[in-house]
Amino acid sequence: MNRTGILVVVALLVASVSSGEDSLAAPQGVPGAIAHGAVPVKIKKALDSSNLKEGDPVEVETTGAFKLPDGIIVPKGSKLTGHVARATARSKGDAESQLSIAFDKLNVAKGGQYSLEGKVQAVFQPKEEPEPMMAGKATANAGGSTTGVDVGTVTDAEVGSNVESSAKPEPDMTPQSSGVHGIGNLRLDNGVLSSKRKSVKLSGGVRMIVRVDILG
């Protein structure tokens, strides 16, 4: 995979791979980085700071496809891997529990591997799934009463991700998102998650924005 001479920045949350709407600019961030941006990911395996220790491996999955500045397409379902940088449970006398993750690899599905430096920029509650269609529940599409909520899929042109439309809109994930959204008693400061509960718990399905500098 040839990445020589690539000195650009890519906004990794793009409208879609097929649209070719990548946003490029001069590089910033970590010296020597060939690109940087914000990657939307999802936790597949629950994380609990009381059961983790420094150095434990962590793997998350990209929730959308994007194109790197060298033209390589990173498909949905590619893996960001890293390790636990800090994990503590709150014990007597402690103010809070903490969890931080350092990401260092991007494994492109059916492709190569990139080294990177990444940390959590934003955390979102798991994406709400549409309720199963129940017998007798009328919706506009079912030809019954239009008073039912018809859950569909819409595209956010700015973010480029599919967002389910429902009676209770979910927070938008954008490259500029930061902090914690929709999860109580949890805060994020410079990549470190903290909670006044006994431990920091992130269930499977929790979504994150990871800020990365790709090193090559």
Model pLDDT, residue 120: 98
Per-residue pLDDT reduced to its tens digit, 85-100: 999 999 887 899 999 9
pLDDT at 129: 63
Assign 71 a pLDDT band (cuts: 50, 70, 90).
confident
Selected residue with higher pLDDT from 73 and 183? 183
Where does residue 159 fall: left (phi above 0), alpha (psi -120 to 50 degrees), or beta otherwise?
alpha
Give the pLDDT band of residue 149 (cuts 50, 70, 90).
very low
Strands 97-107 and 79-88: antiparallel
Q: With 70 as the cut, is the pLDDT of residue 206 above it? A: yes
- Rounded to two decimals, the pTM is 0.71
Rounded to whole angstroms, the Cα distance separating 28 from 12 reads 14
pLDDT at res. 28: 59
Which residues are registered as beta bridge partners of 105? 81, 115
Range with top average pLDDT, 6-20, 21-35, 188-202: 188-202
For 70-93, b/e burial (b = at least 16 CB within 10 A) is: beeebeeebbbbbebbbbbbbeee
pLDDT of residue 29: 58
Answer with the residue of higher pLDDT: 94 or 26.
94
| Whether residue 67 has pLDDT greater than 90 | no
Residue 75 has pLDDT above 50, yes or no: yes
pLDDT digits (tens, 9 = 90+) for 159-176: 333 333 344 556 788 999
Query: Over the stretch 106-129, which tens digit does the pLDDT of each residue have?
Result: 999 877 899 999 999 999 999 876
Q: Which of 120, 98, 121 is nearest to 49 (CA)?
A: 98
CATH topology (fold) of 9-128+176-214? Lipocalin (2.40.128)
The answer to whether residues 152 and 140 touch, using CB atoms and an 8 Å cutoff, is no
